[in-house]
Chain A
Amino acid sequence: MALDALTLSRIQFAWVIGWHILLPAFTLGIASYIALLEGLHLGTGREVYLRVSNFWIRIFAVAFGMGVVTGVVMPFQFGTNWSRLSDTAGNVIGPLLAYEGIVAFFLEAAFLGVLLFGRKLVPRWAHFVAAVMVAFGTLLSSFWILATNSWMQTPAGYALVDGRFYPENWLDIVFSPSFPYRLAHTVTGFYVTAAFVVLGVGAYTIRRGLFGAEGRVMVMTALTLLGVMVPLQIFLGDQHGLNTREYQPAKLAAIEARWETASPAPLTLFAIPDPAAETNRYPIEIPYLGSLILTHSLNGTVQGLKDFPADQRPPVAIVFFAFRVMVGIGFLMLGIVALGWLLYFRRRLFDTRWYIWACQFTIPLGFIAVLAGWTTTEEGRQPWTVYGLLRTADSVTPSLTAHDVVVSLLFYALAYLVIYPTGVLYLLRLVRKGPGKDAIAPPVEAGRAELPVARLPS
């Protein structure tokens, strides 16, 4: 793989979106969690929910601010490095991207201020509504950005005129074949990611012994949500896989490192794919299981990579291993949650010190799974940006040289390597302060140290 402007541009896009996606992966779930806590507080009147909610609002504010700042970079990438994609598909994906931005803009403008600063200034129900609207806003943002991505993965509702895409039916464009599956799978993945952060922070809070009640609320709410969402996510992942088999069979073949079409197909647990020889080294396979999982029947046919011309196959090894990292973490998560519930029903959850200790280290799990899943789907749709129609190589900005992109990549590398560690240290400090009474001071969102609504006529 030559380090030309194309490859470097792909690395750059992966770099800026990889860091950016960590923030929505967290804030989407936390926004809904805050709405849930506000609802619980409104319903039960218990103060502990309020303290936990305030604690997470503070953390949410910082993460959301960083998400906005790193998000500014994203739309410009389509111009700087992917200008031919913008010209060729702008008629279709432009408005989808724009709706994401406008909705985020709208949310930032209208409800975030009330959620962050308005606790004492608006009625309790209004604050709850603001929390729900912020959560709803983050979901809408995901809706539009995943609609954009899904259309590129499984294009529909368009007409090709003079080699460019024109919209024919916006409903078909927004609800392209992979969209419902991708949306459900991604949003649930983001919820799971945030819930594991809550679980880990709750465990840490319990172990410190200062805010035991708050810590137990976090652990219990997280385990409850995860008890539903982790099994649901495994089901949704399976459904998404069936959808991929139908619309992107080459991606599925790469996920399974399947070279020959087979019925029945085995499941390859491990192998070193060798694209030159079009085979796998050191495979460990389970007969029939591949067909069973992928087609839900013992003798179903699974298409192999050799059915596709070599220049239409994705890189196999990255897709194969990234998928296994994601699924492996998924089942590890299932084990952690099941064990938590087992301990709970034996009334030993909060007395089992090693379990609470271990839960602290589950915080990165969701993030790694999100990145692995994103890698699977994005590397798996190569060599296309608009699947089957527009090649990645034909999407890149033609005027760029490798030197140009090396320089920009270094800039982005340096910037994110300074900002993210600093941001994480900052967030850790907030976690260490804990959900105490003294910590109810108004949070700081993007420098808003003072109450922006403090001058409301009283």
Chain B
Amino acid sequence: MATSAISFVGIWTVIIAAGVFFYVLLDGFDLGIGVLHGLAPSNADRETMMRSVAPVWDGNETWLVFCGIALISAFPLAFAVIIPAVYFPILVMLVALVFRGVAFEFRFDDETHRAFWDRAFCFGSTVATFAQGVVLGAFIQGFRVTGRQFSGTSLDFLTPFSIMTGFALLFGYGLLGSGWLIIKTEGALQAWARRAGRICLIGVLAAIAIVSLWTPIIEPSIAARWFSFPNILFLWPVPLITCAVAVWEWRALGGGADAAPYAAAVLLFLLSYLGIAISLWPMIVPHQISIWDAAASPSTQSFLLVGTLFLLPVILMYSGWSYWVFRGKVRSDVGYH
């Protein structure tokens, strides 16, 4: 019984970790395009940018719902502690995503108000991204917990650190968005995306540096995790590889294969994600509650696993297929061609 419980916890940790990562990579680029949308050089470019994400953005967003419901089922205690602690950022994110969603839906048939809906899309994307960054920052910092409940106030999330991570994610999603644009566009817009990508990369690297220095200073357990012997022997390649990927990303944005900047951005996100996981493991509520303490009963986890293992591959295959269908460059006048 005990061993099977542990293995279910492991499987669900992997599923949710992968779900969050998928969400960040996929919705990250379309949110990033929303962020960049307001800065684009011309109306035609803005139209092209919208079309480059039109067929896939709503599928990307469903990963957010998946992560939410997987968390409440597999780790209900973590859900019950974390979500109240980030009450306002979650609220702002949800309302911004709702606005962004309907704006996208209405813009294609409502030509008289298209400029308004486009601005709503841009604004909603920016606000949702910032809110997600704030959630991330608050999460890394940890929450006040008493017994089985969050015991701080709904404004605890608001710290210089979480504001910083909010801005950091704007750059991060901006980097993913420009990577996507480089794949999907050509000519002047692609050149613009390459320049925008470099600006975002500078922001992302600055944020990675700040988080890497700040978290060990404010949280001794993180410093111990990274710098104690023998951990440091195994972990020193992480920052080194990150630096190498950063150099690759800078060069890829300068020219070369269209897919390279997005691929390098994915690697950067993966390394940052890995860094956070190393810092916090095995706590699902940072510094407080471990994945085993937060886990639902084995019966709960196995009951949901049956359906998930059947449905998830189908969903993944269909998502992959729809990306395949929409491969190729996009233009403002003819859409996909």
Which A residues from 388 to 406 make CB contacts under 8 A with B?
A: 397-401, 404
The answer, yes or no, to whether B65 is at the interface (CB within 8 Å) is yes
Contacts of A100 in B (CB 8 A): 69
Are B315 and A86 neighbours in the complex by a CB distance under 8 Å? no
Residues of B within 8 A of A400 (CB): 84, 87, 154
Once bound together, how far apart are the Cα atoms of A201 and B79, in whole Å? Answer: 44
- Whether, in the assembled complex, A331 has its beta carbon less than 8 Å from a beta carbon of chain B, the answer is no
Are B73 and A90 in contact, CB atoms less than 8 angstroms apart?
yes
Q: Which segment, of B89-97, B193-201, B226-234, B254-262, faces chain A?
A: B89-97
A411 near B91 with CB under 8 A, answer yes
Q: Tell me if A79 and B83 are in contact (CB < 8 A).
A: yes
Q: A80-B87, A83-B83, A86-B76 are in contact. Are A453 and B325 (CB under 8 A)?
A: yes
Contact of A80 among B83, B104, B109, B151 (CB under 8 A): B83
Contact A447 B87 (CB under 8 A): no
B7 CB-CB contact with A under 8 Å: no
Chain B nearest CB, measured from A92 CB (Å): 7
Of B37-45, B53-61, B235-243, which binds chain A?
B53-61
From A86, A108, A407, A452, B79 is in contact (CB under 8 Å) with A86
Which residues A415-458 have CB closer than 8 A to chain B? Answer: 415, 418-419, 422-423, 426, 444-450, 452-456
Per-residue interface assignment for chain B, residues 99 to 112, with 1 indicating a CB less than 8 Å from any chain A CB and 0 otherwise: 10110111111100
Number of A-B contacts defined by CB within 8 Å: 232
Query: At the interface with chain A, which of B163-171, B215-223, B266-274, B300-308?
Result: B300-308
Binds B, one of A68-76, A210-218, A280-288: A68-76
Specify which of A73, A98, A446 lies most central, judged by the most chain B CB atoms within 10 Å of its CB.
A98
- B98 to chain A: which residues have CB within 8 Å? 69-70, 72-73, 415, 419
Determine the chain A residues whose CB is within 8 A of the CB of B51 once the complex forms: 449-450
Contact of A404 with B87 at beta-carbon distance under 8 Å, contacts A106-B315, A399-B149 already known? yes
| Interface presence of B288 (CB below 8 A) | no
Residue A350 is within 8 A (CB to CB) of chain B in the complex: no
Task: Judge whether A95 and B83 touch: CB under 8 Å.
Answer: no
Q: Judge whether B10 is part of the interface by a CB distance below 8 angstroms.
A: no
Q: Does A45 contact B (CB under 8 A)?
A: no
> Would B325 and A426 count as touching, CB distance under 8 A?
no
Chain B residues with CB under 8 Å of A95's CB are 73, 300, 303-304
Residues of A within 8 A of B90 (CB): 76, 79-80
Smallest CB–CB gap between B118 and chain A, Å?
Answer: 11
List of B residues within 8 angstroms of A423 by Cβ: 102
Contacts of B108 in A (CB 8 A): 444, 447, 449
Decide yes or no whether A342 CB sits under 8 A from chain B: no
Interface presence of A125 (CB below 8 A): no
Q: What residue of chain A has the Cβ atom nearest to residue B322's Cβ?
A: A452
How many interface residues does A have (CB within 8 Å)?
Answer: 67
Residues from 70 to 93 in B contacting A, C-beta threshold 8 Å: 70, 72-74, 76-77, 79-85, 87-88, 90-92
B72 touches A75 (CB 8 A): yes
List B contacts of A113 (CB < 8 A): 322
Are A83 and B80 interface neighbours, CB within 8 A? yes
Q: Which residues of A contact B22 (CB under 8 A)?
A: none
Asked if A106 meets B314 with Cβ closer than 8 Å, knowing A86-B80, A98-B69, the reply is yes
Residues A90-121 near B (CB distance < 8 A): 90-92, 94-95, 97-103, 105-106, 108-110, 113
Q: Is the CB of B66 within 8 A of A83?
A: no
Report A-chain residues with C-beta under 8 Å of the C-beta of B311: 102-103, 105-106
Q: Give the distance to chain A from B82, nearest Cβ to Cβ, in Å.
A: 7
Write out the residue numbers on chain B whose beta carbons fall within 8 Å of the beta carbon of A270. none
Residues of B within 8 A of A71 (CB): 65
Inter-subunit contact A426/B110 (CB<8 Å): yes
Q: How far is the CB of B290 from chain A (nearest CB, A)?
A: 16
Instruction: Name 20 extra pairs, CB < 8 A, besides A103-B311, A106-B315.
Output: A80-B87, A92-B300, A94-B69, A97-B73, A98-B69, A98-B308, A99-B304, A105-B66, A110-B318, A166-B297, A397-B150, A398-B149, A399-B151, A400-B87, A408-B88, A422-B106, A426-B109, A447-B58, A447-B104, A456-B325
Q: Report 19 cross-chain contacts, Cβ distance below 8 Å, ordered by A residue.
A: A69-B98, A79-B68, A90-B73, A90-B79, A90-B300, A91-B300, A92-B300, A94-B300, A98-B69, A98-B72, A109-B314, A401-B153, A407-B91, A408-B88, A426-B109, A449-B51, A450-B55, A452-B325, A456-B325
Which 5 residue pairs are nearest across A and B when measured between Cβ atoms?
A90-B76, A79-B83, A94-B73, A87-B80, A69-B101
Interface residues of B (CB under 8 A from A): 50-51, 54-55, 57-59, 61-62, 64-66, 68-70, 72-74, 76-77, 79-85, 87-88, 90-92, 94-95, 97-99, 101-102, 104-110, 148-154, 296-297, 299-300, 303-304, 307-308, 311-312, 314-315, 318-319, 322, 325-328, 335-336
